[in-house]
Protein backbone atom coordinates (compact mmCIF):
# COMPACT_ATOMS: atom_id res chain seq x y z
CA UNK A 1 0.00 0.00 0.00
CA UNK A 2 1.52 3.32 -1.04
CA UNK A 3 1.87 5.93 1.70
CA UNK A 4 -0.42 8.07 -0.47
CA UNK A 5 -3.21 5.49 -0.42
CA UNK A 6 -5.85 6.63 2.06
CA UNK A 7 -7.46 4.01 4.32
CA UNK A 8 -11.21 4.00 4.90
CA UNK A 9 -12.06 5.09 8.46
CA UNK A 10 -15.85 5.46 8.13
CA UNK A 11 -18.67 6.19 5.74
CA UNK A 12 -17.22 8.52 3.05
CA UNK A 13 -14.19 9.21 5.28
CA UNK A 14 -10.61 8.30 4.44
CA UNK A 15 -7.34 9.03 6.20
CA UNK A 16 -3.59 9.07 5.72
CA UNK A 17 -1.94 8.74 9.12
CA UNK A 18 0.61 11.33 10.21
CA UNK A 19 4.10 10.09 9.27
CA UNK A 20 6.82 12.15 10.92
CA UNK A 21 9.44 10.76 8.52
CA UNK A 22 7.60 12.73 5.82
CA UNK A 23 7.41 15.80 8.05
CA UNK A 24 3.65 15.34 8.62
CA UNK A 25 2.47 16.94 11.85
CA UNK A 26 -1.16 15.78 11.54
CA UNK A 27 -3.08 13.19 9.50
CA UNK A 28 -4.87 13.98 6.24
CA UNK A 29 -8.64 13.40 6.20
CA UNK A 30 -10.52 13.05 2.92
CA UNK A 31 -14.31 13.28 2.72
CA UNK A 32 -15.42 11.60 -0.51
CA UNK A 33 -17.18 8.63 -2.07
CA UNK A 34 -15.12 5.99 -3.88
CA UNK A 35 -15.51 7.56 -7.30
CA UNK A 36 -14.56 11.06 -6.14
CA UNK A 37 -11.56 9.64 -4.25
CA UNK A 38 -10.43 7.69 -7.33
CA UNK A 39 -10.39 10.94 -9.32
CA UNK A 40 -8.31 12.68 -6.61
CA UNK A 41 -5.75 9.88 -6.90
CA UNK A 42 -5.12 10.74 -10.57
CA UNK A 43 -3.54 14.15 -9.87
CA UNK A 44 -1.55 15.78 -7.03
CA UNK A 45 -4.57 16.44 -4.75
CA UNK A 46 -3.57 13.95 -2.05
CA UNK A 47 0.16 14.78 -2.26
CA UNK A 48 -0.68 18.47 -1.87
CA UNK A 49 -2.81 17.74 1.21
CA UNK A 50 0.06 15.70 2.64
CA UNK A 51 2.35 18.71 2.06
CA UNK A 52 -0.14 20.96 3.88
CA UNK A 53 0.02 18.60 6.89
CA UNK A 54 3.70 19.57 7.34
CA UNK A 55 3.04 23.28 7.91
CA UNK A 56 4.16 24.67 11.28
CA UNK A 57 1.27 25.09 13.73
CA UNK A 58 -1.30 23.04 11.78
CA UNK A 59 -4.07 21.68 14.03
CA UNK A 60 -5.90 18.33 14.12
CA UNK A 61 -5.78 17.38 10.41
CA UNK A 62 -5.40 18.63 6.83
CA UNK A 63 -8.79 18.28 5.12
CA UNK A 64 -9.76 17.46 1.53
CA UNK A 65 -13.44 18.03 0.71
CA UNK A 66 -15.34 16.00 -1.93
CA UNK A 67 -14.72 18.58 -4.69
CA UNK A 68 -10.95 18.38 -4.05
CA UNK A 69 -8.57 18.68 -6.99
CA UNK A 70 -5.03 19.85 -7.65
CA UNK A 71 -4.43 23.54 -6.97
CA UNK A 72 -1.59 25.95 -6.24
CA UNK A 73 0.16 24.78 -3.05
CA UNK A 74 -3.01 23.69 -1.25
CA UNK A 75 -5.43 21.47 -3.14
CA UNK A 76 -8.63 23.25 -4.20
CA UNK A 77 -11.25 21.96 -1.78
CA UNK A 78 -8.66 22.06 1.00
CA UNK A 79 -9.13 23.27 4.58
CA UNK A 80 -6.46 23.73 7.23
CA UNK A 81 -6.51 25.44 10.62
CA UNK A 82 -3.29 26.92 12.04
CA UNK A 83 -2.62 27.90 15.63
CA UNK A 84 -3.29 31.68 15.65
CA UNK A 85 -0.30 32.29 17.97
CA UNK A 86 2.30 29.83 16.74
CA UNK A 87 1.03 28.90 13.28
CA UNK A 88 1.27 30.17 9.74
CA UNK A 89 -0.83 32.12 7.28
CA UNK A 90 -0.35 31.12 3.64
CA UNK A 91 -1.35 33.10 0.52
CA UNK A 92 -1.42 29.80 -1.42
CA UNK A 93 -3.81 28.45 1.21
CA UNK A 94 -6.27 31.17 0.24
CA UNK A 95 -5.61 31.21 -3.48
CA UNK A 96 -5.35 33.77 -6.27
CA UNK A 97 -9.02 34.65 -6.56
CA UNK A 98 -9.48 35.92 -3.01
CA UNK A 99 -13.16 35.75 -1.99
CA UNK A 100 -14.26 34.14 -5.18
CA UNK A 101 -17.81 33.54 -3.98
CA UNK A 102 -21.43 32.98 -4.82
CA UNK A 103 -24.62 34.88 -4.15
CA UNK A 104 -28.20 33.88 -4.79
CA UNK A 105 -31.11 36.22 -5.61
CA UNK A 106 -34.71 34.98 -5.44
CA UNK A 107 -37.63 36.33 -7.51
CA UNK A 108 -41.39 35.77 -7.52
CA UNK A 109 -41.27 34.82 -11.23
CA UNK A 110 -41.84 31.25 -12.43
CA UNK A 111 -40.20 29.46 -15.33
CA UNK A 112 -43.40 30.01 -17.34
CA UNK A 113 -43.04 33.79 -16.82
CA UNK A 114 -39.39 33.79 -17.91
CA UNK A 115 -39.20 31.30 -20.81
CA UNK A 116 -40.86 33.54 -23.45
CA UNK A 117 -38.41 36.36 -22.62
CA UNK A 118 -35.37 34.24 -21.79
CA UNK A 119 -33.23 35.20 -24.79
CA UNK A 120 -33.99 38.91 -24.34
CA UNK A 121 -33.18 38.61 -20.64
CA UNK A 122 -29.86 36.79 -21.15
CA UNK A 123 -28.85 39.23 -23.91
CA UNK A 124 -29.71 42.19 -21.67
CA UNK A 125 -27.73 40.73 -18.75
CA UNK A 126 -24.81 40.08 -21.09
CA UNK A 127 -24.91 43.67 -22.32
CA UNK A 128 -25.20 45.28 -18.88
CA UNK A 129 -22.69 43.16 -16.89
CA UNK A 130 -19.11 43.57 -18.15
CA UNK A 131 -17.43 40.19 -18.54
CA UNK A 132 -14.29 38.55 -19.92
CA UNK A 133 -10.54 38.69 -19.30
CA UNK A 134 -9.46 42.19 -18.30
CA UNK A 135 -13.04 43.42 -18.57
CA UNK A 136 -13.65 46.88 -17.16
CA UNK A 137 -16.43 47.62 -14.69
CA UNK A 138 -19.21 50.00 -15.57
CA UNK A 139 -18.06 52.65 -13.09
CA UNK A 140 -14.84 54.61 -12.86
CA UNK A 141 -13.31 54.92 -9.41
CA UNK A 142 -10.56 57.33 -8.39
CA UNK A 143 -7.90 56.24 -5.88
CA UNK A 144 -9.62 57.55 -2.78
CA UNK A 145 -12.93 55.91 -3.81
CA UNK A 146 -11.12 52.59 -4.29
CA UNK A 147 -9.66 52.94 -0.78
CA UNK A 148 -13.18 53.45 0.57
CA UNK A 149 -14.41 50.31 -1.21
CA UNK A 150 -11.48 48.34 0.23
CA UNK A 151 -12.33 49.41 3.78
CA UNK A 152 -16.12 49.62 3.66
CA UNK A 153 -17.00 46.77 1.28
CA UNK A 154 -20.69 46.38 0.47
CA UNK A 155 -21.56 49.47 2.55
CA UNK A 156 -19.81 51.70 0.01
CA UNK A 157 -21.90 50.26 -2.84
CA UNK A 158 -25.12 50.59 -0.81
CA UNK A 159 -24.35 54.24 -0.01
CA UNK A 160 -23.90 54.83 -3.74
CA UNK A 161 -27.30 53.39 -4.65
CA UNK A 162 -26.31 49.85 -5.67
CA UNK A 163 -28.44 48.02 -3.08
CA UNK A 164 -29.92 48.24 0.41
CA UNK A 165 -28.91 47.30 3.94
CA UNK A 166 -31.05 44.15 3.52
CA UNK A 167 -28.37 42.96 1.07
CA UNK A 168 -25.57 43.49 3.60
CA UNK A 169 -27.51 41.62 6.30
CA UNK A 170 -27.27 38.35 4.37
CA UNK A 171 -23.59 38.48 3.37
CA UNK A 172 -20.85 36.63 5.21
CA UNK A 173 -19.26 39.26 7.52
CA UNK A 174 -22.16 41.55 6.46
CA UNK A 175 -20.10 42.22 3.33
CA UNK A 176 -17.46 44.20 5.22
CA UNK A 177 -14.65 42.54 7.13
CA UNK A 178 -12.89 44.77 9.68
CA UNK A 179 -9.15 45.61 9.65
CA UNK A 180 -8.66 45.75 5.89
CA UNK A 181 -5.80 48.16 5.12
CA UNK A 182 -5.42 49.68 1.63
CA UNK A 183 -1.87 50.75 2.58
CA UNK A 184 -0.82 47.08 2.50
CA UNK A 185 -1.90 46.81 -1.15
CA UNK A 186 0.65 47.40 -3.93
CA UNK A 187 0.24 50.11 -6.57
CA UNK A 188 0.14 47.35 -9.17
CA UNK A 189 -2.83 45.65 -7.46
CA UNK A 190 -4.61 49.01 -7.22
CA UNK A 191 -4.02 49.69 -10.88
CA UNK A 192 -5.56 46.32 -11.77
CA UNK A 193 -8.50 46.82 -9.40
CA UNK A 194 -9.39 50.41 -10.25
CA UNK A 195 -11.22 49.74 -13.52
CA UNK A 196 -12.66 46.31 -12.63
CA UNK A 197 -15.26 46.90 -9.92
CA UNK A 198 -18.62 45.54 -11.09
CA UNK A 199 -17.31 43.07 -13.68
CA UNK A 200 -17.67 39.32 -13.98
CA UNK A 201 -14.30 38.31 -15.38
CA UNK A 202 -13.63 35.02 -17.13
CA UNK A 203 -12.97 31.35 -16.34
CA UNK A 204 -15.64 29.60 -14.30
CA UNK A 205 -17.39 32.84 -13.32
CA UNK A 206 -20.97 33.25 -14.43
CA UNK A 207 -24.40 34.72 -13.91
CA UNK A 208 -27.08 32.04 -14.17
CA UNK A 209 -30.84 32.34 -14.41
CA UNK A 210 -32.15 29.17 -12.77
CA UNK A 211 -35.35 27.46 -11.76
CA UNK A 212 -35.91 25.69 -8.47
CA UNK A 213 -36.18 22.03 -9.53
CA UNK A 214 -36.28 20.20 -6.19
CA UNK A 215 -36.98 21.11 -2.57
CA UNK A 216 -35.53 18.82 0.11
CA UNK A 217 -36.04 20.94 3.26
CA UNK A 218 -39.36 22.81 3.23
CA UNK A 219 -38.71 24.80 6.42
CA UNK A 220 -35.29 26.08 5.34
CA UNK A 221 -36.50 26.81 1.78
CA UNK A 222 -39.40 28.83 3.14
CA UNK A 223 -37.09 30.88 5.39
CA UNK A 224 -34.93 31.63 2.33
CA UNK A 225 -37.92 32.55 0.13
CA UNK A 226 -37.30 29.59 -2.18
CA UNK A 227 -40.29 27.89 -3.86
CA UNK A 228 -40.46 25.06 -6.40
CA UNK A 229 -40.48 26.24 -10.05
CA UNK A 230 -39.63 29.82 -9.06
CA UNK A 231 -36.74 31.58 -10.81
CA UNK A 232 -33.50 32.49 -9.03
CA UNK A 233 -30.23 34.08 -10.13
CA UNK A 234 -26.81 32.79 -9.08
CA UNK A 235 -23.78 35.10 -9.37
CA UNK A 236 -20.31 33.55 -9.15
CA UNK A 237 -17.25 35.81 -9.23
CA UNK A 238 -14.47 37.19 -7.06
CA UNK A 239 -11.88 39.93 -6.62
CA UNK A 240 -10.68 39.90 -10.23
CA UNK A 241 -7.12 41.06 -11.07
CA UNK A 242 -7.01 42.94 -7.77
CA UNK A 243 -7.06 39.81 -5.58
CA UNK A 244 -4.81 37.94 -8.02
CA UNK A 245 -2.13 40.61 -7.73
CA UNK A 246 -2.33 40.66 -3.91
CA UNK A 247 -1.79 36.90 -3.86
CA UNK A 248 1.18 37.20 -6.26
CA UNK A 249 2.73 40.05 -4.24
CA UNK A 250 2.50 38.24 -0.92
CA UNK A 251 3.60 34.86 -2.28
CA UNK A 252 6.79 36.59 -3.41
CA UNK A 253 7.23 38.29 -0.01
CA UNK A 254 6.57 34.97 1.79
CA UNK A 255 9.14 33.15 -0.35
CA UNK A 256 11.74 35.81 0.42
CA UNK A 257 11.40 35.49 4.22
CA UNK A 258 11.39 31.67 4.60
CA UNK A 259 15.02 31.73 5.82
CA UNK A 260 14.36 34.59 8.25
CA UNK A 261 11.71 32.49 10.02
CA UNK A 262 13.56 29.18 9.56
CA UNK A 263 10.63 27.68 7.59
CA UNK A 264 11.36 24.55 5.49
CA UNK A 265 8.65 23.48 3.05
CA UNK A 266 8.20 20.42 0.80
CA UNK A 267 6.75 22.66 -1.95
CA UNK A 268 7.64 26.31 -2.57
CA UNK A 269 4.00 26.98 -3.56
CA UNK A 270 3.14 26.57 0.14
CA UNK A 271 5.12 29.73 0.97
CA UNK A 272 3.82 31.02 4.29
CA UNK A 273 4.74 33.34 7.13
CA UNK A 274 3.99 33.29 10.86
CA UNK A 275 0.45 34.56 11.42
CA UNK A 276 1.68 37.01 14.07
CA UNK A 277 4.64 38.32 12.03
CA UNK A 278 4.75 41.72 10.35
CA UNK A 279 4.45 40.02 6.94
CA UNK A 280 1.54 37.88 8.19
CA UNK A 281 -0.36 40.91 9.50
CA UNK A 282 0.28 42.79 6.24
CA UNK A 283 -0.96 39.92 4.08
CA UNK A 284 -4.10 39.58 6.17
CA UNK A 285 -4.86 43.32 5.93
CA UNK A 286 -4.38 43.22 2.12
CA UNK A 287 -6.36 39.98 1.76
CA UNK A 288 -9.20 41.54 3.77
CA UNK A 289 -9.17 44.50 1.36
CA UNK A 290 -9.64 41.99 -1.48
CA UNK A 291 -12.52 40.34 0.43
CA UNK A 292 -14.26 43.72 0.64
CA UNK A 293 -13.55 44.40 -3.05
CA UNK A 294 -15.14 41.06 -4.04
CA UNK A 295 -18.29 41.59 -1.95
CA UNK A 296 -18.67 45.04 -3.54
CA UNK A 297 -18.09 43.54 -6.97
CA UNK A 298 -20.88 40.98 -6.52
CA UNK A 299 -23.15 43.69 -5.09
CA UNK A 300 -22.77 45.84 -8.21
CA UNK A 301 -23.43 42.86 -10.47
CA UNK A 302 -26.56 42.23 -8.35
CA UNK A 303 -27.67 45.81 -9.01
CA UNK A 304 -27.28 45.47 -12.80
CA UNK A 305 -29.02 42.07 -12.69
CA UNK A 306 -32.01 43.65 -10.96
CA UNK A 307 -32.06 46.46 -13.53
CA UNK A 308 -32.07 43.92 -16.40
CA UNK A 309 -35.06 42.13 -14.87
CA UNK A 310 -36.86 45.47 -14.41
CA UNK A 311 -36.31 46.34 -18.09
CA UNK A 312 -37.35 42.98 -19.50
CA UNK A 313 -40.35 42.35 -17.23
CA UNK A 314 -41.37 46.03 -16.94
CA UNK A 315 -41.78 45.70 -13.17
CA UNK A 316 -39.76 47.17 -10.31
CA UNK A 317 -37.26 45.09 -8.37
CA UNK A 318 -39.58 45.26 -5.32
CA UNK A 319 -42.56 44.07 -7.43
CA UNK A 320 -40.35 41.18 -8.57
CA UNK A 321 -39.26 40.68 -4.92
CA UNK A 322 -35.60 40.30 -5.95
CA UNK A 323 -34.18 39.74 -2.50
CA UNK A 324 -30.67 38.51 -1.83
CA UNK A 325 -30.87 35.08 -0.17
CA UNK A 326 -27.21 34.83 0.87
CA UNK A 327 -23.64 35.58 -0.25
CA UNK A 328 -20.93 33.10 0.69
CA UNK A 329 -17.15 33.43 0.27
CA UNK A 330 -14.61 30.86 -0.89
CA UNK A 331 -10.83 31.40 -0.82
CA UNK A 332 -10.46 33.06 2.52
CA UNK A 333 -8.47 32.82 5.78
CA UNK A 334 -9.96 34.03 9.05
CA UNK A 335 -9.24 33.69 12.74
CA UNK A 336 -12.06 31.66 14.31
CA UNK A 337 -12.52 29.73 17.54
CA UNK A 338 -12.77 25.96 17.18
CA UNK A 339 -12.61 23.03 19.59
CA UNK A 340 -9.20 21.36 19.47
CA UNK A 341 -8.70 18.44 21.89
CA UNK A 342 -11.83 19.50 23.76
CA UNK A 343 -10.73 23.13 24.27
CA UNK A 344 -11.80 26.25 22.34
CA UNK A 345 -8.81 27.67 20.54
CA UNK A 346 -8.16 30.58 18.16
CA UNK A 347 -7.05 29.24 14.79
CA UNK A 348 -6.49 30.68 11.32
CA UNK A 349 -8.89 28.66 9.14
CA UNK A 350 -7.75 28.56 5.50
CA UNK A 351 -10.61 27.69 3.14
CA UNK A 352 -9.20 27.18 -0.33
CA UNK A 353 -12.05 26.39 -2.71
CA UNK A 354 -14.13 25.70 0.39
CA UNK A 355 -17.07 27.50 1.91
CA UNK A 356 -18.21 28.12 5.47
CA UNK A 357 -21.05 25.88 6.70
CA UNK A 358 -21.84 27.09 10.24
CA UNK A 359 -24.73 25.48 12.15
CA UNK A 360 -27.63 27.20 13.91
CA UNK A 361 -27.19 29.48 16.93
CA UNK A 362 -23.76 30.83 15.98
CA UNK A 363 -23.24 34.58 16.17
CA UNK A 364 -21.56 34.57 12.74
CA UNK A 365 -24.77 33.40 11.06
CA UNK A 366 -27.00 36.35 10.00
CA UNK A 367 -29.88 37.05 12.41
CA UNK A 368 -32.38 36.03 9.72
CA UNK A 369 -31.03 32.47 9.63
CA UNK A 370 -29.50 32.07 13.10
CA UNK A 371 -32.17 29.68 14.43
CA UNK A 372 -31.83 27.58 11.27
CA UNK A 373 -28.15 27.53 10.28
CA UNK A 374 -26.12 29.23 7.57
CA UNK A 375 -27.20 28.91 3.93
CA UNK A 376 -24.50 27.31 1.79
CA UNK A 377 -24.42 27.79 -1.99
CA UNK A 378 -22.71 25.14 -4.13
CA UNK A 379 -22.60 26.01 -7.84
CA UNK A 380 -22.33 23.21 -10.37
CA UNK A 381 -21.30 23.49 -13.99
CA UNK A 382 -23.44 25.43 -16.44
CA UNK A 383 -25.32 22.41 -17.78
CA UNK A 384 -26.10 20.55 -14.59
CA UNK A 385 -27.34 22.28 -11.46
CA UNK A 386 -26.45 24.04 -8.23
CA UNK A 387 -27.46 23.42 -4.65
CA UNK A 388 -28.57 25.33 -1.61
CA UNK A 389 -27.49 23.56 1.57
CA UNK A 390 -27.78 24.34 5.26
CA UNK A 391 -24.78 24.30 7.61
CA UNK A 392 -24.97 21.64 10.34
CA UNK A 393 -23.31 20.81 13.66
CA UNK A 394 -21.09 18.08 12.17
CA UNK A 395 -19.20 20.70 10.17
CA UNK A 396 -17.78 22.03 13.45
CA UNK A 397 -16.61 18.56 14.54
CA UNK A 398 -15.31 17.40 11.17
CA UNK A 399 -14.23 20.27 8.92
CA UNK A 400 -13.71 23.44 10.98
CA UNK A 401 -17.17 24.59 9.91
CA UNK A 402 -16.59 24.10 6.16
CA UNK A 403 -17.96 22.26 3.15
CA UNK A 404 -17.36 21.95 -0.60
CA UNK A 405 -17.57 25.09 -2.74
CA UNK A 406 -18.61 23.63 -6.09
CA UNK A 407 -18.40 20.62 -8.35
CA UNK A 408 -14.62 20.76 -8.75
CA UNK A 409 -12.84 20.31 -12.08
CA UNK A 410 -12.51 16.86 -13.61
CA UNK A 411 -10.59 17.95 -16.69
CA UNK A 412 -8.03 20.69 -17.30
CA UNK A 413 -9.02 23.69 -19.40
CA UNK A 414 -6.55 22.71 -22.13
CA UNK A 415 -7.94 19.15 -22.28
CA UNK A 416 -11.49 20.53 -22.54
CA UNK A 417 -10.36 22.73 -25.46
CA UNK A 418 -8.90 19.67 -27.22
CA UNK A 419 -11.96 17.47 -26.65
CA UNK A 420 -14.94 19.73 -27.28
CA UNK A 421 -16.13 22.33 -29.77
CA UNK A 422 -18.16 25.44 -29.05
CA UNK A 423 -21.06 24.28 -31.25
CA UNK A 424 -21.20 20.86 -29.51
CA UNK A 425 -21.37 22.46 -26.06
CA UNK A 426 -23.96 25.04 -27.10
CA UNK A 427 -26.10 22.36 -28.78
CA UNK A 428 -26.02 20.05 -25.74
CA UNK A 429 -27.07 22.98 -23.52
CA UNK A 430 -29.75 24.08 -25.96
CA UNK A 431 -31.14 20.51 -26.00
CA UNK A 432 -31.60 20.87 -22.23
CA UNK A 433 -33.42 24.18 -22.69
CA UNK A 434 -30.43 26.31 -21.57
CA UNK A 435 -29.62 29.51 -23.46
CA UNK A 436 -25.94 30.49 -23.22
CA UNK A 437 -24.26 33.78 -24.06
CA UNK A 438 -20.47 33.93 -23.83
CA UNK A 439 -17.82 36.40 -24.92
CA UNK A 440 -15.36 33.81 -26.24
CA UNK A 441 -15.28 30.32 -27.71
CA UNK A 442 -12.82 29.20 -24.99
CA UNK A 443 -15.17 30.51 -22.30
CA UNK A 444 -17.76 28.01 -23.55
CA UNK A 445 -15.52 25.01 -24.23
CA UNK A 446 -13.37 25.21 -21.07
CA UNK A 447 -16.48 25.22 -18.91
CA UNK A 448 -18.32 22.37 -20.62
CA UNK A 449 -20.28 20.36 -18.03
CA UNK A 450 -18.13 17.30 -18.83
CA UNK A 451 -15.06 19.16 -17.45
CA UNK A 452 -16.56 19.02 -13.95
CA UNK A 453 -17.31 16.40 -11.32
CA UNK A 454 -20.91 15.46 -10.61
CA UNK A 455 -22.11 18.22 -8.28
CA UNK A 456 -24.88 15.93 -6.96
CA UNK A 457 -22.24 13.41 -5.81
CA UNK A 458 -20.19 16.17 -4.13
CA UNK A 459 -23.26 17.52 -2.33
CA UNK A 460 -24.35 14.02 -1.36
CA UNK A 461 -21.13 13.48 0.62
CA UNK A 462 -21.75 16.68 2.59
CA UNK A 463 -25.40 15.72 3.15
CA UNK A 464 -24.74 12.12 4.22
CA UNK A 465 -22.06 13.21 6.70
CA UNK A 466 -24.34 15.92 8.14
CA UNK A 467 -21.79 18.68 7.38
CA UNK A 468 -24.28 20.71 5.32
CA UNK A 469 -27.62 19.22 4.26
CA UNK A 470 -29.74 19.59 1.12
CA UNK A 471 -32.31 22.39 0.93
CA UNK A 472 -32.99 22.80 -2.81
CA UNK A 473 -31.58 21.99 -6.23
CA UNK A 474 -31.48 24.73 -8.88
CA UNK A 475 -31.08 24.05 -12.60
CA UNK A 476 -29.93 26.62 -15.17
CA UNK A 477 -32.15 27.95 -17.95
CA UNK A 478 -29.96 30.90 -19.00
CA UNK A 479 -26.21 31.49 -18.56
CA UNK A 480 -23.82 34.35 -19.21
CA UNK A 481 -20.07 33.73 -19.12
CA UNK A 482 -16.99 35.82 -19.70
For residues 311-323, b (16+ Cβ closer than 10 Å) or e, as one string? ebbebebeebebb
Q: Confirm whether residue 56 is marked as ligand binding.
A: no
Q: Confirm whether residue 168 is marked as ligand binding.
A: no
**Helix ranges restricted to H, 201-357:** 218-224, 240-256, 278-313
Q: Confirm whether residue 207 is marked as ligand binding.
A: yes
Length of the chain: 482
Q: Which one, of 204, 179, 182, lies nearest residue 193 by Cα?
A: 182
Q: Which of 69, 303, 405, 463 is catalytic?
A: 405
Q: Which SS3 state, helix, strand or coil, does residue 87 take?
A: coil
Contact 67, 408 (CB under 8 A): yes
Contact 335, 346 (CB under 8 A): yes
Contact 186, 245 (CB under 8 A): yes
Cα-Cα-Cα-Cα dihedral sign, residues 232, 234, 235, 238:
positive
Q: Confirm whether residue 350 is marked as ligand binding.
A: no
Q: Confirm whether residue 208 is marked as ligand binding.
A: yes
Backbone angles phi, psi at 408, to 5 degrees: 85, 140
Cα-Cα-Cα-Cα dihedral sign, residues 349, 354, 355, 356:
negative
Contact 422, 403 (CB under 8 A): no
H or E segment to which residue 333 belongs = strand 332-340
Active site residue 405: yes
Q: Confirm whether residue 7 is marked as ligand binding.
A: no
Q: Which SS3 state, helix, strand or coil, does residue 137 take?
A: coil
Q: How many CB atoms lie within 10 A of CB 65?
A: 30
Q: Confirm whether residue 97 is marked as ligand binding.
A: yes
Q: Confirm whether residue 219 is marked as ligand binding.
A: no
H or E segment to which residue 159 belongs = helix 154-159
Gap between the terminal Cα atoms of the chain? 44
Q: Confirm whether residue 380 is marked as ligand binding.
A: yes
Q: Confirm whether residue 408 is marked as ligand binding.
A: yes
Report how far residue 181's alpha carbon sits from residue 152's, in angstroms, rounded to the nearest whole number.
Answer: 11
Q: Which one, of 433, 386, 32, 44, lies nearest residue 204 by Cα?
A: 386
Q: Confirm whether residue 160 is marked as ligand binding.
A: no
CA distances from 458 to 190, 193, 234, 314, 404 (A): 36, 33, 19, 39, 7
Q: Confirm whether residue 35 is marked as ligand binding.
A: no
Report how far residue 203's alpha carbon sits from residue 146's, in angstroms, rounded to the nearest whole number.
Answer: 24
Q: Confirm whether residue 205 is marked as ligand binding.
A: yes
Q: Confirm whether residue 79 is marked as ligand binding.
A: no
Q: Confirm whether residue 206 is marked as ligand binding.
A: yes
Q: Confirm whether residue 407 is marked as ligand binding.
A: yes
Binding residues: 97, 204-208, 236, 330-331, 379-382, 386, 405-408, 481
The residues assigned a catalytic role are 405
Binding residues for GMP: 204-208, 330-331, 379-382, 386, 405-408, 481
Amino acid sequence: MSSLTPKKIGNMRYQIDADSSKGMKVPVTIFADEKLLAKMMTDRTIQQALNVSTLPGIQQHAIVLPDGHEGYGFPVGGVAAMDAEEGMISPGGVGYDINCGVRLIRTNLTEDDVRPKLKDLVNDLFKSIPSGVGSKGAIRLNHSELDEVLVRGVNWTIDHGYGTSDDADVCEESGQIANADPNKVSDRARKRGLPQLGSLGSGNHFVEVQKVAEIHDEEAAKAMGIEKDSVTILIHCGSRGFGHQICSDYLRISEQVQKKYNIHLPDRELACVPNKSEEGESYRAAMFAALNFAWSNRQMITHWTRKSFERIFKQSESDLDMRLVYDVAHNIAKVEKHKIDGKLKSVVVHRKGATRAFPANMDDVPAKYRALGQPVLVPGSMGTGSWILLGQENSMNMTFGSTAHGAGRMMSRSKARRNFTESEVKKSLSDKGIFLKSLTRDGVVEETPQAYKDVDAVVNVSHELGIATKVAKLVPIGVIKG
